[in-house]
Amino acid sequence: MLKTFDLVLIGVMTATAAVTYTIKHRAELKFEEVHRLEAEIKLEEDTIDLLKADWALQSQPNRLERLVKAYDDELQLQPTQSTALVHAKELPMLKSEVPVPDVTEAKAGAKSATEAGAKGAALAGAKGATVTTKAQPVPKPAPRAAEEDEADEIETGSVE
């Protein structure tokens, strides 16, 4: 009996050693993967920093002014007027911000559009013309306040 019990214990010990070894091996593989990902992240951060520095050099006002003067005949650039710039609140609404029409208005509009469409299709078929629907009016931008006009006259001091 003692020999059978010893063999069972040896089998259990061997199984636990194998499981422990596989867990250790998987942990080492994950550790190597973490180090590889950290190296990739560091490389990407260094690349981003290098590109930011390059952009800062390429967009220096003095350099751009020299290029504009050198290629003035070809480019024919004109300074931007402060009245040509708009603020975000002056832009028209996005389609996602347009209010949803009332259901009763939609039903009434659908009935009249169906009737008009049927009449228009009959006329179009007879005359060879196409039927167009009336477009919704585009929202107008809000007028600028007097205090915001002062912001357009701020000097940055970047170009002499």
Work out the average pLDDT over 92-99: 77
CB 144 within 8 A of CB 87: yes
Work out the average pLDDT over 135-147: 62
Instruction: Evaluate if residue 126 carries a pLDDT over 60.
Output: no
Work out the average pLDDT over 89-106: 73
Percent of the chain with pLDDT strictly greater than 90 = 37
Instruction: Evaluate if residue 79 carries a pLDDT over 60.
Output: yes
CB 130 within 8 A of CB 124: yes
Instruction: Evaluate if residue 150 carries a pLDDT over 80.
Output: no
DSSP codes joined into one string, 13-59? HHHHHHHHHHHHHHHHHHHHHHHHHHHHHHHHHHHHHHHHHHHHHHT
129 Cβ contact partners less than 8 Å away, ≥ 6 residues apart: 123
d(CA 27, CA 29): 5
Per the prediction, the chain carries an average pLDDT of 77
Instruction: Evaluate if residue 14 carries a pLDDT over 80.
Output: yes
The total number of residues shown for the chain amounts to 160
Backbone φ, ψ for residue 135 (5° rounding): -80, 150
Q: According to the model, what pLDDT value does residue 104 have?
A: 67
Work out the average pLDDT over 43-56: 95
Q: According to the model, what pLDDT value does residue 112 have?
A: 58
Closest CA to 133 of 149, 115, 150: 115
Closest CA to 138 of 105, 92, 97: 92
- The DSSP secondary-structure symbol of 145 reads P
User: Tokens standing for 86?
Assistant: 């708009």
Work out the average pLDDT over 135-158: 56
Residue ranges of the domains in the chain?
Answer: 10-77
